[in-house]
Amino acid sequence: MLKKIFTFILFVSITSCGSYNSIDSFYDAHKNDNQVTAIRVPQFMLSMISEISPEMKAMVGNAKDLRYMQFPSATSSKTQFLNQQMNGITGNSFIEVFRKNDNLKRNVVSIREKKNLVKEILIYNNDSQTGSFLYFNGDFDPVKVREMAKNEQFTKFGDNIFNQFGASTPGINSQN
C-alpha cells in the first residue's frame, strides 16, 4: 500500500513539473520568445504607475508584484495553445470574475482570494493576433476589483503599461 502511495505521489510530482501552472513558469518560459514584450515592474517603480489615474493609485498602492506580457498569437494553433496554458494557470485556484469567449478569442479576468481580500488578479486577452496578460499580486479590495473588471479598466491599464514602459523604457525586463 505504501509503495502505491509513493508511486502516485511521484507520478503527480513529475507530471506537474512540466506544465505551465503558474504565472512564474509561464512568464519565465515565454519572456525570451520572439516578438514578446515582457514587463515586470520593480517595487520602486510601482509609485510611477500609480500616477496613471486615481483608480490605479488605489490599486497599485497595494501591489507587491506587477507583470505585463504581450505576445504574438497569429495562428489558430498558437492561440489555442496559449488559451490552454492560461486555463491551466487559473484552473482550480482562481475564480473567474469575467469571461468572454468568441471562438478562440478570449477576455478573462480571474482572481485568487484569501479571506476578505483579493490576493492575485490575472487578466488574459487574446484576439487571435496578439495575446496579453496583466498580473497583480498584493492585497486588493474585492469591490474595487469587481468595479474595475466591469468597467474594463484592467484592459486600459495593460495598454497604459505597455505604452509607458514597453515602448519607452528598454531594459526593464522587457524583450522587444
d(CA 76, CA 93): 27
Name residue 41's beta-bridge partners. Answer: 66
Q: What would the pLDDT profile of 92-144 be if each residue is shown by its tens digit?
A: 789 988 889 999 999 898 999 988 889 999 999 999 999 999 999 998 888 88
d(CA 85, CA 18): 12
Considering only residues 74 and 168, tell me which one the structure prediction assigns the higher pLDDT.
74
Write the DSSP string, 15-54. Answer: HHHTS--SHHHHHHHHTTSTT-EEEEE-GGGHHHHTTS-H
Strands 130-140 and 63-72: antiparallel
| Residue 8 clears pLDDT 50, i.e. is over it | no
d(CA 66, CA 163): 15
Mean pLDDT, residues 69-81: 94
| Residue 1 clears pLDDT 90, i.e. is over it | no
Q: In b/e form, how buried is each residue of 37-61, taking b as 16+ CB within 10 angstroms? A: bbbbbeeebbeebbebeebbeebbe
- Percent of the residues in the chain that have a pLDDT greater than 90, as a whole number: 37
d(CA 27, CA 67): 9
List the chain domain ranges: 20-166
| Residue 13 clears pLDDT 60, i.e. is over it | no
